[in-house]
Structure 1
Amino acid sequence: MTKHSSLSRRSFLKNAGVLGCSLAASPLVTPVSLAAAPGDHRLVVIVLRGGMDGLDLVRPVGDPLFAGLRPNLSSADPKLPLTDFYALHPEADKLHALWMAGELAFGQAVSTPYRDKRSHFDGQDILEAGVDAGGAIRDGWLNRLVQTMPDTQLRTALAVGREDLLILSGDATTSGWSPDVTLPLSEASRLLMARVYDGDPLFSSALGEAMDLTDVLRPELLRNADDAPNDPSEVMSDAMMMAKAHRGTTGIATFTAEMLKQDTRIASFSIGGWDTHVGQTSGFKRPLKNLQDAIMTLKTELGPIWGKTTVLAMTEFGRTVRQNGSKGTDHGTGGTVIVAGGAIRGGKIYGDWPGLAEEDLYNRRDLMPTADIRIYAAAAMQGLFNATASQIEGTIFPGLDLSPGLPGIIA
């Protein structure tokens, strides 16, 4: 399908809701790239929406200025040490277990090229587009990666969730799925809907796409006419149970793992809730739990494939070094990228620490970025899919300079 038709279908499905009885359902709001590539490595990109505070997740407790800048947010007695200098957030016990297993690493003091305005919308667009702040945002960098991979066919890249993901939008064929509605669809209902919308090219095309996705993604949810229950309440009960099973971050991660066990090689979804202006001590815990659950679900569900998998969790910007008057933090600049998986070189903190002295901060308020966050994605592309420097600098991340070298995150 073309980019134009994909957008038209998403617009139709957002507003009409006529496909509520299909798994590829109401609404189809998330773009999906469907292609398969040679090789056996997997890449999962998790967009952490809201500006995740990397200084709260990976705490530089060895810096003598840290505790004074965050008297209500820092821990004087690190519960989960990483190195002599860094400790994990005390609620990040599952991530710490991955660290101890050599399956977790971090890139510290990273950022996109975005500066100063600190808008979530602009920051997320730049993160997902992979271009500098002055570039025209046309498509997503994962979509451009797929286009550089040879012999692509069937399904390689998959975006799962409620929102549109720019990161997978572009010229590579896209489709979509939302995990919230999983009502069964009998063969008779399928035939009836196909007949009703046969005369409308747009509706008919969208319906066909939804049915195809239903067949491919979760065939066990389809019911034949012979075994479909007669009691409507039974149908609804089954549907509600299936819908409940697929809600939340764990359901999305489970679904993603199922796709990665087939021919999908690249997946992306998002986790929100990181905008912690007020009461960060409690507000940080929920998205942190969701992130840990997502990563651990991927590890558990993938089994041996986890050893061939890399997870990158990236956010649009970091947060201020100093806590604010509401015991939270405001939009900042430098932050942290999370790297997990069985395919990585874990147990390391990558990047240069810039220091917390006022003269070392960006605009005397934010952690100073010492690396472009895109180099971690570039390192994953090169290590997993043999992307060349010219492809990365010229097509996938135009304007990115790889000459300083890439972090060795892939084992």
Structure 2
Amino acid sequence: MKRRKFLGQMGCAALGYTTLYSSLINLKAINAAALADSTTAAAGDYKALVCILLSGGNDSYNMLVPTEQNQYNTYQTTRSNLAIPRQDLLPLSSPGLASGHFGIHPGMPEVRELFGQEKLAFVANVGTLIEPTTKQQFYSGSHPLPLGLFSHSDQIQQWQTGRPEQRAATGWGGRVAELVQSMNFNQKMSMNISLSETNVFQQGNEIFEYAISPNGAPGIYGRNSSWELDVIQQAALSEMLDKQYQDIYKQTYVNTIKSSDEATQEFQQALEQAHSFQTPFSDNYISNSFRMIAQTISVQATLGFQRQIFFLNFGGWDHHDEILTNQGNMLPVVSKALSEFQAAMEEINKSQAVTTFSISDFARTLTSNGNGTDHAWGGHTMVMGGAVEGGRIYGEYPSLELKNPLDLGNGVLIPTTSADQYFAELALWFGVSKGEAMELFPNLRNFYNPSSVNRPIGFLNL
């Protein structure tokens, strides 16, 4: 019997003789021991996932466009006044993709270069799904569909939770972290680091995000200040934190503040040893956030992390108006930031260890509402890193002709690849087993057979 299975069975037997509180402690200990003995843990390799959320719903059908003449003509007819001129699109080519069939937005030359170097791939027409869905099933009224389709709050939540059938409180990044946290030497600080404050994606049952800014960890105001008033305030705060309280809630609160402050001090001290990158980063919030992620990764050994998950939210993509102007301003920011970050990872030899991926609430209607687009469903994502089999478009790029079998009206396209497949491939690369992936994403079995030798989609070297 494998040690991991033995630990699990013996642990379940032992739970019958313990109290509820100690049972919870034992469950954590058993899980940690089992995971520490797994093949992935024994490998001792560092890996990081970096999630960038384009919140608001990115119109990805103007990000990745068919350029073969007949297909472009269909695109141009359907998109009408929102179509990008064919000659302005940047043609994609790579050893794994025939040239002349697709182009990307003219503001993304860096992404085009990454694609050509096989460091970046697209996943086409991916979206939240419970089961494979046809137009007839959608309108039947009896087919299971994601809750709150076309709703910002529901869809942005489901992309972060991987639970389209419910309004879940935990994110799949948080649940993955709880499976692999024991691989980290540092158990005092969360392996989930957010550059965008609180988020659903990184919340688990017991693991939450550690929020920092592009300038580092904020910490307690005035902690290292020599200003007289700050010194007095810090002395008073230290006295309150060092006191032992009879009230369990007060003591828990104080302990939380103290551990957070200690983690902040540890994090800031580690950052003092961060790599001084030769790679230049643009002076904007997104690039500065990616620079901070790069600096944090450069000191992962000092911090004691073998696994880390990062989150960054780039908002403002709800373009019901002025979409061409807004995307013309925003997509270049994403393109440059991705290129800068990938170059930084190569500079510190972490390219193979870091996978960056994009998510968004949903895509947008293919048809114009006058000067913008409205909420839709399936759209395109990007995934980047040394482990990515780049230079390819994965999934099924849909027909852009109106009233096609996937069109629910106005160019609202049913996804042909589920978000669960997308998430599962990232989780498997990160070290989660197939069995654990099935538990993380209960609807995955509707799209992927865990006994298959194939990957859920195929864009990562597992």
TM-score range, shorter chain: 0.7 to 0.9
Q: Secondary structure at the match of 1:167?
A: coil
> Residues 88-117 of structure 1: CA distance to partner in whole angstroms, max 9, x if unpaired?
100001111111211110001110123764
Residue 292 of structure 1 is matched in structure 2 by: 335
Q: Which amino acid aligns with 1:279?
A: E
Instruction: Give, in whole Å, the separation in 2 of the partners of 1:324 and 1:191.
Output: 60
Runs of 4+ in 1 over 6 A off after TM superposition: none
RMSD: 2.9
Match runs of 1:189-338 below 5 Å? 189=231, 190-198=234-242, 201=251, 204-219=254-269, 248-261=285-298, 262=300, 263=305, 264-302=307-345, 303=347, 304-325=349-370, 327-338=371-382
Residue 398 of structure 2 is matched in structure 1 by: 354
Q: Secondary structure at the match of 1:356?
A: coil
Matches within 5 A, 1:140-155: 140-149=171-180, 151-153=182-184, 154=186
Q: Deviations over 1:158-194 (max 9, x none)?
A: 2323342111101243253241785663277444422
1:86 aligns to 2:102 (yes or no): yes
TM-score (norm. length: structure 1): 0.77
Q: Deviations over 1:198-228 (max 9, x none)?
A: 5554663343234223212222889xxxxxx
Shift of 1:125: 0.8
Within the candidate set 71, 77, 96, 2:87 is matched to: 77
Q: Give the whole-Å Cα distance in 2 for the aligned partners of 1:150 and 1:160.
A: 16
Verify the 8 A CA contact 1:179 1:247 in the aligned structure 2.
Answer: no
| Shift of residue 351, structure 1, vs aligned partner | 0.9
Q: Between 49-58 and 252-261, report the one with greater CA deviation.
A: 252-261
- The partner residue of 2:224 within 167, 186, 197 is 186
Give the aligned residue type for 1:372.
S
SS in 1 for 2:124: strand
Q: Which residue of 2 aligns with 1:59?
A: 65
CA contact (8 A) 2:47 2:354 kept: yes
Aligned counterpart, 2:208: 174
Task: Give the corresponding residue for 2:116.
Answer: 100
Instruction: Tell me the distance in 1 between the aligned counterparts of 2:90 and 2:271.
Output: 42
Q: For 2:168, give the aligned amino acid.
A: I
Deviates more, 1:164-173 or 1:35-44: 35-44
Q: 1:362 to 1:198 in 2, by over 3 A?
A: farther
When residues 292 and 136 of structure 1 are mapped into structure 2, their CA distance, relative to the original with a 3 A threshold, is: same
Structure 1 residue 87, shift from structure 2 partner: 0.5
Mapped pair 1:373 → 2:419: yes
Q: Are residues 78 and 116 of structure 1, via their aligned partners in 2, closer, same or farther at CA, if it must alter by over 3 Å? A: farther
Q: What is the deviation of 1:79? A: 3.5
Query: 1:44 & 1:221 partners in 2: Cα distance?
Result: 19
**Paired position in structure 2 for 1:129:** 161
User: Offset of 1:297 from its aligned partner?
Assistant: 3.3
Contact kept, 8 Å, 1:142 with 1:167, in 2: the verdict is: yes
Pick which of 335-344 and 70-79 moved more: 70-79
Question: Partners of 1:185 and 1:116 in 2: how far apart?
Answer: 45
- Which consecutive unaligned segments of at least 5 residues does structure 2 have? 1-20, 22-35, 93-98, 130-145, 244-249, 273-281
Q: Give the direction of change, closer, same or farther, for the CA distance of 1:214–1:51 in structure 2 (3 Å limit).
A: same
Structure 2 contact 214–288 (Cα < 8 Å) conserved: no
Instruction: Determine if the alignment matches structure 1 residue 139 to structure 2 residue 170.
Output: yes
**Residues 2-13 of structure 1 mapped to structure 2, 5 A cutoff:** none
- Compared with structure 1, are the counterparts of its residues 265 and 184 closer, same or farther at alpha carbon in structure 2 (3 Å cutoff)? same
| Distance in 1 (alpha carbons) for counterparts of 2:222 and 2:350 | 30
Partner of 2:11: none
Any idea what SS the aligned residue of 1:139 has? Answer: coil
Change (3 A) 1:344 1:143: same
Count of aligned pairs: 352
Partner residue in 1 for 2:55: 49
Q: Which amino acid aligns with 1:65?
A: T
Moved more, 301-310 or 95-104: 301-310
* 1:410 matched residue in structure 2: 460
State the SS of the aligned residue for 2:177: helix
* Structure-2 separation of matches of 1:356 and 1:221: 48
| Partner Cα distance (2:262, 2:104) in 1 | 44
5 Å-filtered alignment, 1:107-122, equals 107-113=123-129, 114=146, 117-122=149-154
Q: Distance in 2 between matches of 1:247 and 1:95?
A: 18
Amino acid in the other structure paired with 2:291: T
Question: Shift of residue 59 of structure 1?
Answer: 1.2
Amino acid at match of 1:51: G
Match of 2:8 in 1: none
Q: CA deviation at 1:307?
A: 2.8
Q: TM-score, normalised by structure 2?
A: 0.69
Secondary structure (helix, strand or coil) at the match of 2:312 reads strand
Alpha-carbon distance in 1 for matches of 2:46, 2:62: 35
In 2 relative to 1, CA 265–116 (structure 1 residues): closer, same or farther, beyond 3 Å? closer
**Alignment partners' CA distance in 2, 1:384 and 1:214:** 26
CA–CA separation in structure 2 for the residues paired with 1:372 and 1:307: 25
Post-superposition shift, 1:246?
Answer: 9.8
- 1:254-273 per-position Cα deviation (integer Å, ceiling 9, x unaligned): 12122222125322221111
How far did residue 120 of structure 1 move? 0.9
* Runs of 5+ consecutive residues of structure 1 not aligned to the other structure: 3-34, 223-244
Of the three residues 193, 199, 204, the one matched with 1:165 is 199
Equivalent pair of 1:271/1:290 in contact (CA under 8 Å): no
Q: 2 CA distance for matches of 1:145 and 1:180? A: 25
Q: Equivalents in 2 of 1:174, 1:194: separation in Å?
A: 25
**Which residue number corresponds to residue 241 of structure 1?**
none
What is the CA-CA distance between 1:47 and the residue it aligns to? 1.5
Question: Which residue identity lines up with residue 80 of structure 1 in the other structure?
Answer: L
